[in-house]
A and B are shown apart, each in its own frame.
Chain A
Amino acid sequence: MQKPVIYLDHAATTYVKPEVFEAMKPYFIEEYGNASSLYSVGRSGRKAVEEARTAIARCLGADEPGEIYFTGSGTEADNWAIKGAVYAAREKGKKHIITSAIEHPAIMATCKYLKKEGFDVTYLPVDQEGFVNPGDVEKAIRPDTAIVSIMYANNEIGAIQPIKAIGEITRKHGVLFHCDAVQAAGSIPVDVRELGVDLLSISAHKFYGPKGVGALYIRKGVRLENLIHGGHQERGKRAGTENVAGIVGMAKALDLAIANMDQYAGKIRKLRDRARDLILSRIPHVRLNGPVENRLPGNLNLSFQFIEGESLLLMLDMKGIKASSGSACSSGSLDPSHVLMAIGLSHEIAHGSLRLTFGESNTESDVGYLVDCLEEIVARLRTMSPLYEDFVKANKQAAK
């Protein structure tokens, strides 16, 4: 029997939907002109880019298309938002950044870099479920605070942050508010007006669009220093020839995602809940990481006590199941995921974590197969684990 391929890593990336690919196709060979050129083949590229801008502005609830700027990735959008804001604020003596302890590396590494440049960074803690307390944001705001950056939904544990409540606070204090909505866009409604954010990042490949294209929403009137210097593209704010096909693909993908959101979210939530309930009932010593409510519909994060995440991933891969882990071995350092540490897990439990993120291609039978495989693999790894041996011996001792 050929082993199935079950992709459960949709938070890492998604495939490009065929309709999206079809929409992109003309802009590779036929309509290849530079969107900045004046002749017709360029004009059609320009038209496509501006239509995409209008569509994305509408999808995100922006007041006008001119508030959407295309970038090469979600990471670039995050970098631009933070660096652009603090560099612009520096001349006014503002040098303080507020963010959370569970941000994506695109924010974490940017803040670390800025700290070396002399900026001051406050990392707000999260509770055991992974939520930032809006009250903490208010307490952290100082006269020299240049920007607050809090992600909409966490990539590892799926916790959906109280962005609207934080937006009310930043507005009250007149502080810029950036939101990394890379994981949220396409899975849950994202409306910049409703959320009260000034800056918001998205990335196409997280919602069945192409890789290599993202966007930053910049509320009208917000001044950012430029990050990429060169030509006059994106109204002189982000140089570089427009990735016309990518931009068209992102707009098509976001349009589709929003049109089908209720159905999509309902489907993956059902699969996720079923997987969670089956795993927790059939496999002992498993912990759910992250919240039950206010969680991305496709996100499941579990820790399997006494075993290590990379071993689990390798064995799942042998069964055709593609997943992800917050263990140190998969992060390439000795420390497990900063997100799992921030919600208070011990190193040992964090090392045994598994992230499963459901999506379009998954089915009910995938869930059954996954749980069967997990049950077998976890039992197998536990028979090899000295930690499990100690646990069993301690239990026997206690029973005597």
Chain B
Amino acid sequence: MYSEKVMDHFMNPRNVGEIEDADGVGQVGNAKCGDIMKMYLKIEDGIIVDAKFKTFGCGAAVATSSMATELIKGKTIKEAEMVTNKVVMEALDGLPPAKVHCSVLAEEAIAAALQDYRARHGLDSDSEYAGCPGCCGGCGRLEQQNRNGGE
């Protein structure tokens, strides 16, 4: 049911771990839904020099976390913000429909970590993800993804 890329990123996840002196940390999801992602970012001169994650969740949750960290490493903050769930899914050669929410969680984890970075550094930010505890679907983002076909 999973693509080879998903299985590869699940069995050999990249960037698992913590960054002790991270500049931004974001955690999304909750145990009730069965998925929690925690992302650590090291940012120097506006560039993400390192990203690590820890994830409690299914195969897709681990694989999207792994792929998301790979996609944002070496990128500027602006570029990292362009890494949407769709980008993560495409990089993994797709996800089964029931697992699309995992890629949304990966996008939200990046956003939450960047939000934390901005907050720590007193930078301006849009408040979209401030205080987002994970994908409750309340913001309509999940519905929008599903409407877009969720491919």
Contacts and interface: CB of A to CB of B under 8 A. Distances in A.
Interface of A: 306-308, 310-311, 314-315, 318, 327-329, 332, 334, 336, 346-348, 351, 383-389
A384 B16 contact: yes
A328 B11 contact: no
Given A329-B34, A347-B34, A351-B34, A385 B58 contact: no
16 contacts: A307-B56, A308-B61, A310-B58, A311-B10, A314-B7, A314-B11, A314-B59, A329-B34, A334-B33, A334-B34, A347-B33, A384-B13, A384-B56, A386-B27, A386-B36, A386-B56
A315 B34 contact: no
A386 B16 CA distance: 11
Nearest to B98: A332
B31 A384 contact: no
Given A306-B56, A385-B55, A348 B32 contact: yes
A310 B61 CA distance: 10
A189 B36 CA distance: 44
Given A314-B10, A327-B34, 7 more contacts: A310-B58, A311-B58, A314-B7, A314-B11, A334-B33, A348-B31, A385-B54
Most buried by A among B27, B33, B57, B98: B57
B56 A347 contact: no
Nearest to B7: A314
A375 to B, nearest CB: 18
B36 A383 contact: no
A351 to B, nearest CB: 4
B70 to A, nearest CB: 15
Contact of A311 (B31, B62, B99): B62
Contacts, number: 70
A389 B20 CA distance: 13
**Interface SS of chain B:** mixed
Given A308-B57, A311-B62, A318-B11, A386 B34 contact: no
A327 B60 CA distance: 14
Given A336-B34, A348-B31, A384 B55 contact: yes
Interface string B21-42: 0000001000111111110000
Most buried by B among A332, A386, A387, A389: A386
A328 B18 CA distance: 27
A389 B61 CA distance: 17
Contacts of B98: 329, 332
Contact of A389 (B31, B33, B54): B54
A348 B11 CA distance: 22
Contact of B54 (A336, A346, A347, A386): A386
A386 B109 CA distance: 13
Nearest to B38: A386
Contact of B59 (A311, A346, A347, A385): A311
Interface string B59-98: 1111000000000000000000000000000000000001
A384 B55 CA distance: 6
B33 A385 contact: no
Contacts of B37: 386
A318 B57 CA distance: 17
A306 B54 CA distance: 12
B56 A387 contact: yes
Given A311-B10, A334-B34, A348-B32, A389 B18 contact: yes
B141 to A, nearest CB: 16
Interface in B1-22: 7, 10-11, 13, 16, 18
A375 B59 CA distance: 19
A347 B27 CA distance: 18
Contacts of B57: 308, 311, 329
Nearest to A346: B31
A387 B58 CA distance: 14
Contacts of A348: 31-32
Contacts of A336: 34
Contacts of A387: 31, 36, 56
Nearest to A349: B31
Contacts of B36: 386-387
A314 B9 CA distance: 12
A252 B11 CA distance: 43
A346 B31 CA distance: 9
B11 A315 contact: yes
Nearest to A325: B58
Contacts of B35: 308
Contacts of A328: 33-34
